[in-house]
Amino acid sequence: MSDFNIFMEKTIDENKQGETLVIAKNEENTKKLFIESYGCAMNFSDSEIVASILQNEGYNTTQNLEEADLVLVNTCSIRDKAEVTVRKRLEKYNAVKRDINPNMKVGVLGCMAERLKSKFLEEEKIVDLVVGPDAYKDLPNLIAEVEDGHDAINVVLSKEETYGDISPVRLNTNGVTALVSITRGCDNMCTFCVVPFTRGRERSRDPQSIIEEINDLWSKGYKEITLLGQNVDSYLWYGGGMKKDFDKASDLEKATATDFSKLLELCATAQPKMRIRFSTSNPQDMHLEVIKMMAKYDNICNHIHLPVQSGSDRILKAMNRLHTRQEYFTLIDNIKKIIPNCVISHDMITGFPTETEEDHQDTLSLMEYVKYNFGYMFTYSERPGTLAERKFEDDVPEKTKSRRLSEIIALQLKHSEFRTKQFINTTVEVLVEKESKKSNQEWSGRTQQNIVAVFPKGEYKIGDFVNVTVTDCTKATLIGEAIGKSNNN
Ligand code: SAH
Ligand code: F3S
Q: What is the pLDDT of residues 185-241, one digit of tens each?
A: 999 999 999 999 999 999 999 999 999 999 999 999 999 999 999 999 999 999 998
E runs forming strands in 15-65: 31-37, 59-61
Tell me the CA–centroid distance for residue 194 and ligand 2, in Å: 8
What's the rounded Cα separation, in Å, for the pair 63 and 41? Answer: 20
| Contacts with 366 (C-beta within 8 Å, 6 or more apart), sequence order | 308, 311, 325, 328, 329
Please confirm whether the linkage preceding 177 is cis (ω < 30° from 0).
no
Find out whether 186 is annotated in a ligand binding site: yes
Q: Ligand 1: which atom is nearest the Cα of residue 195?
A: 4
- Give nearest CA residue, ligand 2 atom 7: 188
The 10s digit of each residue's pLDDT in 72-83 is: 999 999 999 999
Dihedrals φ, ψ of 112, to 5°? -70, -35
Is 342 annotated in a binding site? The answer is: no
* Average pLDDT taken over every residue of the chain: 94
CA–centroid distance, residue 194 to ligand 1 (Å): 9
- What is the per-residue pLDDT for 26? 78
Helix/strand number for the chain, H first, E second: 15, 22
- Residue of the nearest CA to atom 7 in ligand 1? 230
Burial category of 267 from C-beta neighbours within 10 Å (exposed 0-12, middle 13-18, buried 19 and up): buried
Residues lining ligand 1, judged by CB closer than 6 Å?
11, 40, 78-79, 192-193, 195, 230-231, 280, 307, 309, 347, 349, 378, 380-381, 383
Q: What is the pLDDT of residue 15?
A: 59
Ligand 2 center from residue 282 Cα (angstroms) = 8
| Ligand 1, atom 18: closest residue by C-alpha | 193
Q: Report the pLDDT averaged over residues 335-347.
A: 98
b (16+ CB within 10 A) / e for 16-47:
bbebbbbbeeeeebeebbbbbbbbbbbbbbbb
Topology annotation, domain 20-154: Rossmann fold (3.40.50)
- pLDDT of 25 above 90: no
* Ligand 1 atom 10: residue of nearest CA: 347
Residue 8: pLDDT band (50, 70, 90) is: very low
Residue nearest to atom 24 of ligand 1 (CA): 380
pLDDT, one tens digit per residue, over 376-405 is: 999 999 999 999 999 999 999 999 999 999
- The Cα 47–Cα 63 span in angstroms is 14
Task: Note the pTM of the prediction, 2 decimals.
Answer: 0.94
- Which residue's alpha carbon is nearest to atom 12 within ligand 1? 347
**Atom in ligand 1 nearest the alpha carbon of residue 188:** 1
CATH superfamily of 177-421: tm_1862 like domain (3.80.30.20)
Q: Residues enclosing ligand 2, CB less than 6 A?
A: 186, 188-190, 193, 195-196, 230-231, 282
- Name the region of 371 (left: φ>0; alpha: ψ -120 to 50; beta: rest): left
Residue 474 has pLDDT above 70, yes or no: yes
Summarised one tens digit per residue, pLDDT across range 280-298 is: 999 999 999 999 999 999 9
Cα(60)–Cα(74) distance, integer angstroms: 17
Residue 29 has what pLDDT? 85
239 contacts: CB under 8 Å, gap ≥ 6: 249, 253
Higher pLDDT, 15 or 114: 114
The C-alpha atoms of residue 226 and residue 283 are separated, in whole angstroms, by 19
The residue ranges of every structural domain in the chain are: 20-154, 177-421, 427-485
Distance 193 CA to ligand 1 centre (A): 6
pLDDT at 27 over 90: no
Give dist(CA 163, CA 184) in Å, integer.
9
- Among the residues of 139-285, which ranges form H helices? 139-147, 195-199, 207-219, 251-255, 260-270
The β-bridge partners of 61 are 33
pLDDT value, residue 1: 32
The residues facing 109 across adjacent strands are 74, 131
Q: What is the pLDDT, as a whole number, of residue 7?
A: 35
Taking only the tens place, the pLDDT of each residue in 354-381 is 999 999 999 999 999 999 999 999 999 9
Percent of the chain past pLDDT 90, that is, above it, reads: 92
The residue whose CA is least distant from atom 19 of ligand 1 is: 193
473: annotated binding-site residue?
A: no
Alpha carbon distance, N-terminus to C-terminus of the chain: 43
| Predicted pLDDT at 18 | 75
CATH for 427-485?
Answer: 2.40.50.140
Residue 185 Cα to ligand 2 midpoint, Å, equals 9
Q: Please check whether residue 263 is in contact with residue 277, taking contact to mean a CB–CB distance below 8 angstroms.
A: no
Whole-number Cα distances in Å, 44 to 13, 216, 355 = 10, 19, 33
- Rounded to whole angstroms, the Cα distance separating 301 from 169 reads 25
Q: Which atom of ligand 2 is nearest to the CA of 199?
A: 5
Three-point CA angle 452, 453, 457, nearest 5°: 135
Q: 424: CA distance to ligand 1 center in Å?
A: 33
Residue among 193, 323, 376, 389 to mutate when testing ligand 2 (max atoms within 8 A of CB): 193
Specify the length of the chain in residues.
Answer: 489
Residue closest via CA to ligand 2's atom 2 equals: 190
